[in-house]
Homo-oligomer: A and B are copies of this chain.
Amino acid sequence: MLITELAKLCQAQVQGGNAEQEVSSAADIMSALAHQVTVLSDSKYKKYLKDTQATACFISVKLADEQIPDGLTLLICDDPEISFLDAVKLLHPEPAYTRQVSTQAVLAEQVELGEDVHIGPFVSIGAVTRIGAGATIDAGVRIGNHVSIGKYSRIHANAVIYDHCVIGDHVIIHAGAIIGADGFGYKFRNNQHIKVPHVGNVEIADFVEIGANTCIDRGALGATRIGAGSKIDNLVQLGHNNIVGRNVIICGQSGISGSCTIGDGAILAGSAGVADHVNIGSRAVIMARSGISADVEPGAQVFGSPAKDRKLAWRELAALSKLPELLQKFKNLETRVSDLEQ
């Protein structure tokens, strides 16, 4: 694609170099070569600009006063990160494959397929399930009975959706994710664990993305809910009856026990853990590997296990690093006091 054309499609103004050249792919600023387009959006990386071999670079006005290599065309724009994402999509389009309902898929009675759905081989879909228009169900997916999949959603290969779950529009569920398995609940009687029946479901709102091999359990009664626009990474465990708000970010390997509420815009960094019946306020940030056993205020930033205010936790860790020395000093001071006492 010509740089001029790319600039127009990505809301950028060309400056310098030869904008009538072709760019064929995108790369980061440390590795971009000729005929590639790159981006400089973070001043931390501006040292790489002067030596880049890229042919074009999305950049803000603010950073465009750096030393520019000869022949590099700047693509001046308001939001280089977003313009670059658009360029990546234009230069690396997803290949258009034939959309069809595989003859090797098994559909039970009363399955409703919207227009232009794609159903891969070895997909099985239970009774009374609806697949929205434009949805893509990849190979080997199992969708249970009485499920609803929204429009333009994509369920990647070998994911499993249990009965009665409701998936919104424009949802992405990655390979191997399991939506709607029974929650982990038992009552201990007469030396055995009696299973709590799980007759609820999982309801996932629009524009949610669910990572590979992530598990979201159904409610015991009622639903486990994921709000619109929330993004969940790989290998996350979301237990029964959690209510996750809108635009929440849950990073890889985090686990949320059950019956928790996670407020809108909250962020759980990698491997965070949340005990059951905990409320996490909106826009709270749970730092990586933290363990939450009590409610977290909206906007709070917490760290540690059990987690506390981030700055407090760091102050304690800093203090801990001085503790071995303190123990020694204390001994000395005790001796000095003993000497004084004599």
Which residues of the other chain, B, contact A322 by a CB distance below 8 angstroms? 327
- Specify which of B102, B174, B316 is in contact with A320 (CB 8 Å cutoff): B316
Which residues of the other chain, B, contact A212 by a CB distance below 8 angstroms? 160, 178, 181, 215, 217
- By the criterion CB–CB under 8 Å, are A176 and B174 in contact? no
Number of chain A residues whose Cβ lies closer than 8 Å to a Cβ of chain B: 104
Which residues of the other chain, B, contact A112 by a CB distance below 8 angstroms? none
- By the criterion CB–CB under 8 Å, are A270 and B257 in contact? yes
- Specify which of B176, B221, B306, B323 is in contact with A88 (CB 8 Å cutoff): B221
- By the criterion CB–CB under 8 Å, are B215 and A215 in contact? no
Known contacts A31-B222, A88-B197; A142 and B145 CB within 8 A of each other: no
- By the criterion CB–CB under 8 Å, are A193 and B249 in contact? yes
**Chain B nearest CB, measured from A91 CB (Å):** 8
Tell whether A65 is near chain B: CB-to-CB under 8 Å: no
User: Could you say how many copies of this chain the assembly holds?
Assistant: 3
Known contacts A237-B235, A323-B323, A327-B322; A178 and B174 CB within 8 A of each other: yes
**Chain B nearest CB, measured from A334 CB (Å):** 6
In the bound complex, CA of A106 to CA of B122 (Å): 9
Stretch at the interface among A5-13, A56-64, A287-295: A287-295
- By the criterion CB–CB under 8 Å, are A85 and B196 in contact? yes
In the bound complex, CA of A233 to CA of B184 (Å): 6
In the bound complex, CA of A249 to CA of B187 (Å): 12
Interface mask (A186-220 → B, CB under 8 Å = 1, otherwise 0): 11010111111101000000010101110101000
- By the criterion CB–CB under 8 Å, are B145 and A95 in contact? yes
Interface mask (A129-152 → B, CB under 8 Å = 1, otherwise 0): 000000000111010010000000
- Specify which of B28, B211, B221, B330 is in contact with A184 (CB 8 Å cutoff): B211
In the bound complex, CA of A131 to CA of B212 (Å): 24
**Chain A residues with a Cβ under 8 A of chain B:** 26-28, 31, 79, 81-82, 85, 88-89, 92, 95, 97, 102, 104, 106, 120-122, 124, 127, 138-140, 142, 145, 156-158, 160, 162, 172, 174-176, 178, 181-182, 184, 186-187, 189, 191-197, 199, 207, 209, 211-213, 215, 217, 221-222, 229, 231, 233-235, 237, 239, 247, 249, 251-253, 255, 257, 270-271, 273, 275, 288-289, 291, 293, 305-306, 308, 315-324, 326-327, 329-330, 333-334, 336-337, 340-341
